[in-house]
Amino acid sequence: MDLTNTNRFQGIRTPFYYYDTALLRQTLDTINEETSKYEGYHVHYAVKANANLKVLKVINEAGLGIDCVSGGEIKQVLKAGFPANKIVFAGVGKSDWEIELGIDNDIFCFNVESIPELEVINEIAVRKGKTVDVCFRINPNVGAHTHANITTGLAENKFGIAMEDMLTVIHTAQQYPNIRFKGLHFHIGSQILEMDDFIALAKRINELQDQLEAADIKTEIINVGGGLGIDYANPQQNPVPDFKSYFEVYNKYLKLRPGQSVHFELGRAVVGQCGALITRVNYVKKGSVKQFAIVDAGMTDLIRPALYDAHHKIVNLTSDLAEETYDVVGPICESSDVFDKDIRLNTVRRGDLIAMLSAGAYGEIMASGYNCRKLPVGYTSEEL
Ligand code: LLP
């Protein structure tokens, strides 16, 4: 992420998100280069990570498909120009209007998470006289070495259909004339850096594929979800995630049947490193044991530290004075409104610009209006 020319930030109301589109394009080029090595690999960008229209347009230009989890997301990606036939639609609690929206737009595939949901999709499809392509999201009971709040593939999580019910749900789907069963969907969690976790998923999928084959059930689509993590500690050294190893793992361990395509739903790895939250220091306060840099961004703008104990690298863009130790905190009336504690920053003064790095994913999109605050605006490097 290029933050060398900070003059471009003068006169812009803080806090705001800043997206380096050169880095985003470099990331997308790497993804395309790595997936083109393998037959039938398709990446659907998980728009839940960042739905900023300007960011979405760059991703669409690179030709990626898209993964949505709500009707609002479907509307947003259509507005950004994504073709509906590249949309996969997941989510454990889809409302009827959201299902209708997906069916009306002839999206690529619904990732279905329960029999009651399948029944509703079928009912709506019958009413509309359409046939709908579905994959079943199977809970593979594979743990991921990540924060408990972003682990999704364990039997105790609310997501997906239990493995032991897989054949029953597929047989049910096959009885519905307006449903076409296409394949399986998985997602074990997010911010995963250990390739062993993806290897475990690939092996579990192989077992399930053997079961399907024994039951003479054909599948075209294997959707392995997303989850590839980024380097929050050293974003400047590692701006592009290790897509090479990631796709190599699936190529090596996932056994495909003839004609099968593999779909990926990557969010964080696509946009995480290209975004920064830019904030201004309102006050420097010296307590008896602590020194606080009080900035104008709060947990309302970037909730990850408060919600997941996440650490975003923080840098002072204005000062090159000697380093001192600070707690960087926001103005929100909550004790958890802390970005980081006891970190070293070049001496901070009122008015300095501070950047919180690796904030392109799950940053702007998770902002809230708590304390009646304005939502942060997102700008690209092409605008500023
Ligand atoms: N597919 C499904 C079914 C998902 O649930 C998710 C993320 C993804 C794909 C994309 O995962 P990614 O490639 O971005 O790891 N707000 C949290 C992350 C929540 C992830 C939710 N699901 C955070 O800020 O860390």
Per-residue pLDDT tens digits for 93-113: 999 999 999 999 999 999 999
What is the reported pLDDT for 143?
73
Per-residue pLDDT at 150: 61
Query: Does ligand 1 have an atom closer than 6 angstroms to the CB of 227?
Result: yes
Region 36-50 average pLDDT? 98
DSSP 289-349: S-EEEEES--TTT--HHHHH-----EEESS--SPEEEEEEE-SSSSTT-EEEEEEEEE---
Look at residue 316 in the predicted model and tell me its pLDDT: 98
- Higher-confidence position of 214 and 144: 214
Sorted by where each starts, the structural domains of the chain and their CATH numbers stand as 21-270 (3.20.20.10), 273-380 (2.40.37.10)
- How many A from CA of 345 to the centre of ligand 1? 31
Ligand 1: residue of 45, 48, 194 to mutate (most ligand atoms within 8 A of CB) is: 48
pLDDT at 207 over 90: yes
73 CB-side CA count, 13 A: 21
CA–CA separation, 82 and 260 (whole Å): 23
Per-residue model confidence (pLDDT) at position 154? 66
- For 269-297, write each residue's pLDDT tens digit: 999 999 999 999 999 999 889 999 999 99
Using most ligand atoms within 8 A of CB, pick from 137, 263, 265 the residue to mutate for ligand 1.
265
For residue 156, pLDDT over 80 is answered with no
Q: Is the CB of 224 under 6 A from ligand 1?
A: no
Average pLDDT over residues 206-217: 96
Q: How confident is the model at residue 146 (pLDDT cuts 50, 70, 90)?
A: low
As a whole number of angstroms, the distance between CA 376 and CA 373 comes to: 9
CA–CA gap between residue 296 and residue 347 (Å, rounded) = 17
Supply the residue whose CA is at minimum distance from atom 8 of ligand 1: 226
Which pLDDT value is given to residue 287?
A: 86
Mean of the pLDDT values across residues 174-197? Answer: 96
| pTM of this prediction exceeds 0.75 | yes
* Res 22 pLDDT > 80: yes
Q: In angstroms, what CA-CA distances link 167 with 131, 159, 218, 307?
A: 21, 17, 12, 37
Q: Give me the chain's average pLDDT, please.
A: 95
Atom of ligand 1 nearest to the CA of 152: 5
- Take atom 24 of ligand 1 and give the residue whose Cα is closest: 362
Percentage above 90 pLDDT, the chain:
93
Per-residue pLDDT at 86 exceeds 80: yes
Tell me the average pLDDT across 136-150. Answer: 78
Q: Check pocket membership of 268 for ligand 1, CB cut-off 6 A.
A: yes
For ligand 1, the distance from its centroid to the CA atom of residue 228, given in whole angstroms, is 9
The predicted pLDDT at position 141 comes to: 85
pLDDT-derived band at 158, boundaries 50, 70, 90: confident
